[in-house]
Amino acid sequence: MPSPRQALPLLLAPLLALAACQQAPKGDDGGRVPVGSTTSGEASTGLMRTSDLVAASDEVALALAQDVDQMVTQDFSGQRVTVVFGDLMNKTSKMSTTDFEFVRDRVKSKLMDSRIVRDNARFVENRSRRESLRQRELGQTSDQKIGHTSDLSQPAVNEEYFLFLNGNMYSVDRPDTRLYYMKFELMRSSTGETVFSKDYEVKYGR
């Protein structure tokens, strides 16, 4: 007959094995699902699914970054250019303003973070947005900096390498099918010349 000291491990072994098989309780996930998944709610709306909005913005941003980088390398002899985000307009028939702004801002963000084009171009917000933020946060415009008079001109820029990025987004809707067409153009500040124009398309069906 085993001694008490020998019997204790024998008694604890089944309890430890049972505890190992039991998983710790999980908290409520709050309904979280993977970003790439489609919920039953959005599947029944007939609108572009959120996962498709993400995929489309990533696809367009990557292609646009590659095309802009190639254009700058060829047409500007590798000189780094400044690209100002201009007018990016929603001309689709059914995409909501919120969905469009989501796609637009993701494209902008991906462009600004892209290593593909970073060496050849820098992307900046338009002046009206900069001035609005300066006025809100500092209570002054760029012509009213501390220690400067209001009639000082803006720093000189070489407008040959100063470009505006404009774009329009359209949609063609058919039963259970939707084609999105995005057109982007780069306009040279000095002459108004369009130095780059490219179309991008994504198509979805249900």
Rounded to a whole number of angstroms, the distance between the first and last alpha carbons of the chain is 73
Distance CA 102, CA 104 (A): 6
Yes or no: domain 48-141+157-205 corresponds to CATH 3.40.50: yes
Q: What is the pLDDT along the chain (206 residues), one digit of tens a residue?
A: 555 555 555 555 665 565 555 555 565 566 777 766 767 666 667 677 888 889 999 999 999 999 999 999 999 987 899 999 988 999 998 889 999 999 999 999 999 888 888 889 988 876 766 666 566 666 765 555 544 444 444 556 788 999 999 999 999 988 888 899 999 999 999 999 999 999 999 888 76
Place of tokens 């593909």: 116
Domain ranges of the chain: 48-141+157-205
Place of tokens 């933020």: 133
Distance CA 196, CA 69 (A): 11
Residue 165, judged by CB atoms within 10 A of its CB (0-12, 13-18, 19+), counts as buried
Of 48, 137, 44, the residue nearest 96 (C-alpha): 48
